[in-house]
Structure 1
Amino acid sequence: MIDDRNGSAKDVPVAVLGLGLMGRALAGAFLRAGHPTTVWNRTPGKADELAAAGARPAATPEEAVGAAGLVVVCVFDHTAVRALLDRLDAADRGLLAGRVLVDLTSGTAAGAREHAARVAAAGGGYLDGAILAVPPAIGTPEAVVLYSGAQADFERHAPALRSLAPDATTHLGEDHGLSALHDAAVLGLMWSVLNGFLHGAALLGAAGADAAAFAPLAARSTVTVAGWLADYARQIDAGAYPADDATLETHAAAMDHLAEESAALGVSTELPDLVRALAGRALAAGRGGESYAALIEQFRRPAPPAGPDGGE
């Protein structure tokens, strides 16, 4: 992994294809950094504000691509990326030759590898990217943007790409699918944290406690849990799970209490039941005396088939 934080930005011409909320934020960041920026969107009106700030609107994606060596794509999904590549191929099979296309559209690892092969066949370079930030954060120290693909393509345009995330422009490796995989992993973490908070708020709300009063405690507890991650990561990479704090068996007993409290208050037990099922399989496999990180072995396996009534 390369975290590129050095080097000075150059006035590299950039094209941005796709001007939704994020696309407009990307183009704006390039403009503020001094890059000549050409923009294109299916709906031309979305370019008006950027044009007033100095961007050059292009009538077609072919025109936009032809204006820059660095082409940034941020559209709705990978289906839209495929349609865009189809259009570029139909217009000029060699249009991408010598250029680097950076796809910041959310998608899958398989889709990223597919697009990389298509761009390579057209003579261009391809970087897949994942944006871990909201549009207003683009161009600020709060933004994080991950990239995967050929290191040479990344290094060639790292100074310009740093315009989007000055302190966290990170190259993950040459496998084009790595950015999408990291994005999916972070989304899963985000939803798990939010679902845990929502379930907790429902539990406390059933007893008359306000979510606003719970939020500070939840935030502090989240920071505490985050502090455990580095050690758990070391255990996972080593394949050994010493219970330095509490055993999985102890955690499982607390999971039972959460499910019981939820049921007693008429709150859904789906979330605690899911966690209990994972822990139960780990206990059955003899991992009760290990740390909570031992649950990774359950996540590494496909889910067991559902029974006739929907259960296992």
Structure 2
Amino acid sequence: MNEHKIDEPEINEHKTAVTVLGLGQMGAALAGAFLDAGLPTTVWNRTPAKADPLVARGAVRAASVVEAVAASDLVVVCVLDYPAVRALLAPVADALRGRTLVNLTSGSPEQAREEAAWAAEHGAAYLDGGIMTTPPGVGDPGNMVLYSGDPAVFAEHRETLAVLGDPVGLGADPGLASLYDAGLLGLMWSVFGGWLHATALAGADGVAAKDFTEVATRWLRTVAWFMSTYADQIDAGAYPGDDATIDVQAAAIGHLLHAGEARGIDGRLPRLHLELMREAVEAGHGGDSYARIIEAFRPTPR
């Protein structure tokens, strides 16, 4: 029993101290996850009262940004945008030297690269991140948090960052997390749009959204298999139509449009898909796989 009492403080001493700057809904969720994991957590927000619930749970309220930064070797910032990050940190840049800055603010790949360069100029290690969930999902290991930047820095802090969600390292380019974030959000909206259109179509015949969605989510597992197959084709730059050609897909989408028109369902989304398919067919690629459509999204060669 005495041995246990001696060992416990030693374990606590090795827990990584973390500072969280910005306590909006997402920032508060991040700080809460660190607290739930038992990590010493310092918080700061421009409006001090927003820290009250976290302080009640054991967080330390910093009176200033410089005090917050000085409290921990790992500093996590999550505010409105990158200009807000710079405005917050520029006055205390000297205090960042020797620390690791993890920027979980949403922005562009270009902004992330600029912020990484700025951090390096001031002697701070830097990771950029993309949180692939909403605040209630923070802390769930089933949700991803994307990180890009020095792989050694990511490896050093991976265990601590894992309390926020499954940490996925994307490589040394600090802009990759923002790039993936933007692309994945675009994928999400496209999936939502297709699902909402399909649910409206089925609902016109009295099918409950929950019943349709149960089948739809199972179908998405097959769609994911198609995506993996097509990814290899895209990387190879060859699009063999050995599963289903664009000609076949164009004919199939006609059935969707007909069913929608008969039920008064808005057909703008499927018509867009048909337009892309027709362009490929007219260019002589009707016998290729659907992966060929990626060429419609790529920049036109100069």
TM-score, normalised to structure 1, is 0.86
Residue in structure 2 matched with residue 74 of structure 1 by the alignment: 78
1:248 aligned onto 2:246:
yes
Is the contact between residue 100 and residue 125 of structure 1 (CA under 8 Å) also seen in structure 2? yes
Residue in structure 1 matched with residue 157 of structure 2 by the alignment: 157
Residue in structure 2 matched with residue 218 of structure 1 by the alignment: 216
Residue in structure 1 matched with residue 3 of structure 2 by the alignment: none
> What letter is aligned with 1:14?
V
Task: State the alpha-carbon separation in 2 of the partners of residues 191 and 81 from structure 1.
Answer: 27
How big is the shift at 1:140?
Answer: 2.8
Residue in structure 1 matched with residue 97 of structure 2 by the alignment: 97
Residue in structure 2 matched with residue 118 of structure 1 by the alignment: 118
Equivalent of 2:263, from 251, 262, 265?
265
Task: State the alpha-carbon separation in 2 of the partners of residues 235 and 262 from structure 1.
Answer: 32
Residue in structure 2 matched with residue 307 of structure 1 by the alignment: none
Aligned length: 289
DSSP-derived class of the 2:128 partner: strand
How big is the shift at 1:127?
Answer: 0.7
Task: State the alpha-carbon separation in 2 of the partners of residues 210 and 140 from structure 1.
Answer: 29
Task: State the alpha-carbon separation in 2 of the partners of residues 259 and 213 from structure 1.
Answer: 22
Gaps of 5+ in 2: 1-10
Higher relative contact order (CA 8 A, sep 6+): 1
DSSP-derived class of the 2:95 partner: coil
The structure carrying a bigger helix percent of its residues is 2
> What letter is aligned with 2:90?
D
DSSP-derived class of the 2:33 partner: helix
Deviation readout 1:62-84 (Å, 9 max, x if unpaired): 21111111110111222322322
Deviation readout 1:217-261 (Å, 9 max, x if unpaired): 222222221222221111111111222321111001112232233
Is the contact between residue 127 and residue 147 of structure 2 (CA under 8 Å) also seen in structure 1? yes
Task: State the alpha-carbon separation in 2 of the partners of residues 34 and 264 from structure 1.
Answer: 58
Is the contact between residue 240 and residue 289 of structure 2 (CA under 8 Å) also seen in structure 1? yes
> Which sits farther off after the overlay, 211-220 or 41-50?
211-220
Gaps of 5+ in 1: 1-7, 303-312
Task: State the alpha-carbon separation in 2 of the partners of residues 141 and 97 from structure 1.
Answer: 31
Identity %: 53
> What letter is aligned with 1:98?
G
Deviation readout 1:8-56 (Å, 9 max, x if unpaired): 9951211001112221221122223232110011221221121122110
Is the contact between residue 243 and residue 289 of structure 1 (CA under 8 Å) also seen in structure 2? yes
Is the contact between residue 141 and residue 164 of structure 2 (CA under 8 Å) also seen in structure 1? no
Residue in structure 1 matched with residue 25 of structure 2 by the alignment: 21
Residue in structure 2 matched with residue 34 of structure 1 by the alignment: 38
Task: State the alpha-carbon separation in 1 of the partners of residues 140 and 212 from structure 2.
Answer: 30
How big is the shift at 1:266?
Answer: 2.4
Task: State the alpha-carbon separation in 2 of the partners of residues 181 and 275 from structure 1.
Answer: 24
DSSP-derived class of the 2:130 partner: strand
Task: State the alpha-carbon separation in 1 of the partners of residues 140 and 219 from structure 2.
Answer: 27
Task: State the alpha-carbon separation in 2 of the partners of residues 220 and 142 from structure 1.
Answer: 18
